[in-house]
Structure 1
Amino acid sequence: MSAVDIFFNTDVLWRSIPILMRGLANTVLLGLTAIILGTLAGLGVAMVRLYAPRPLQLLAIGYTDLMRAMPVLVVLILIYYALPFAGIVLSSFTAAAVALSMVFAAYAAEVMRAGIQSVPKGQFEAASALGLGFWLTMRKVVYPQAMRIVIPPHASNCVSIIKDTSLASVVAMSDLLKQATDAQALFANPTPLIGAAILYVAMLWPLVRLTGWLEHRFQRAYVR
């Protein structure tokens, strides 16, 4: 049997497509959930770190440092396998979504903090002189200007967190990698793993190119 028959068996690949597509749908859902929840939580952490009382700022700093230092896999294992000892039992999808969101929030918080701090202080003073309140100033003045700094690295982090969804297979979630592994065992052939790799590239490569385009576009707009 040739290497093509082993790793690129078209018959096995064709029969495994329905299985892989179910896994792809779960992967996309998990990635979107982590990005949305992580972005919202990251914005909250960034605001706490910048404007909350000092004790809360220290908590925010500790959270971002800890989450950025811990591997996603460790966080996932702690949530899925350790929390049941405290009486908290989560499904594999929920555990994966919580773990990825927590880690993504830490990276999002740092990016958003840098973006907000890049806005000149004069903008805050001008808004205050116009009688704008704090939240209205943030929404109308600061956030729109910070976005040109935030969007490119945030998009890059989104790509990274989608790749990290493959770790959900560790807690038996039926993501793309888990489905590919099951299909490999079912057909006694590694071709489904190659199929999963192709689907990952097809999904992530356009996002990588989009990230590069955003970096170029916002850098050019910033120079102007």
Structure 2
Amino acid sequence: MKKIFILLFVIASVGISFSQSQKFFDAPFGGGGGFTPSFYFTNFNAINSKLTENNFPEFSDKGIFTTGGGGYIYIGFIKYLRIGGLGFGGMVSNSFSNSSANYQVDYSIGGGGVTIEYTLPFVKDFGVSLGAVIGASSLTMEIFQNSQSNNWDNIFSISSGNNLLRISRTSWMLSPTLNIDYPIFRFIALRLGAGYHFTFGGECKANNNQAISNVPDNLNSKSFFIQLGIFGGFFSF
């Protein structure tokens, strides 16, 4: 994770060293929106410990790929400041069977919020912006137990062997970010970014909003993430 941050800062430093002085405006101008796939290095420790206790396969530490979108606009009356918003969501899943049933475990994260960013004024021709996302995020785990032989006559019965456990948590979100936006043309820009997804508060609930006690502190969606993006709009850095 630290290496990725260092790489981003190196890219920004190189851009500062070799940037050109020609600009259409005396400050970044314009805005746009588009597609922002991301990768969250999620901590599955709390979930995996319970899965192992029940002889379920663990989630790997490869994280979660998310898709989403976002956009921003420079507000003009405060130079270099831009505001916008974004949303994201993604899921990983494990399926397995034993002699009596088929199982599937889904783990998903999602969220959205307002973005506030400041574009560094000494970088020319592309944007290097420091900022934050403020909003809400959620994590959800669902465990499906399915009978290997379903029959309409007993599928509503408790003895059918079909069960669902759903655990969810919604929290406030604050994510400091570093984004580099490079315009290919005046109307298309590419993004490389990174940040850390902090969460605050929120109670875990089971199924239809039932309280859960003794929830471990590390059952949350806090994680480092990297982001790519392609935006359409108007961009003048």
How does the TM-score come out when normalised to structure 1?
0.25
Structure with the largest fraction of strand? 2
Question: Which has the higher relative contact order, 1 or 2, with Cα contacts under 8 A spaced 6 or more apart?
Answer: 1
Structure with the largest fraction of helix? 1
